[in-house]
Amino acid sequence: MRTQNRIGLDTEASQIIAEKLNELLANYQVFYMNSRGFHWNIKGEDFFELHLKFEELYNDSLVKIDEIAERVLTLGFVPLHTYSDYSNVSKIGEAKNVTGGKEAITEILKGYEVLLPLERELLDLSGKSEDEGTNALMSDYIREQEKLVWMYSAYLGQ
């Protein structure tokens, strides 16, 4: 049996990383759908500002979903691709019928409480296995999201 995949990484380590990437993918899919729902359903005095902010958020999530799935493929594995898989794997819960800005932002912050630890775990795993492709993605995601956590928390006055 091959000990390295097609890109020269350890096959067993890559499988562990791919499984963790699939967990991240599932959580991102739910995070994306929540963000989309906030965009559609937001009401109140901050409508215009938050409507645009949530659109930015779901567009960014869509890009990350594609990057994560393609990284799983690059490692030689199959990305999750059914809603039942996403629902079964995701730790981020569905946020249904959220119309208030503060409630939506609180849900977004709860999503980051799931995404960031997963990304840090992947950063550690990919660093140990010299998987620079996954490592670079996670490093970028973490940097971006830490700033967003600060900004959304500031919006809530925290």
pLDDT for the residue 1: 57
- State the CB neighbour count (10 A cutoff) for residue 10: 17
Measured distance CA(141)–CA(10) in Å, rounded: 24
Cβ neighbours of residue 66 closer than 8 Å, sequence gap 6 or more: none
Stretches in the chain below the pLDDT threshold 50: none
This model's pTM is above 0.85? yes
SS3 category, 114: helix
pLDDT for the residue 29: 98
Q: Where are the domains of the chain?
A: 11-155
Q: Assign domain 11-155 to its CATH superfamily.
A: Ferritin, core subunit, four-helix bundle (1.20.1260.10)
DSSP code at position 94: P
pLDDT for the residue 2: 66
- State the CB neighbour count (10 A cutoff) for residue 115: 22
pLDDT for the residue 89: 98
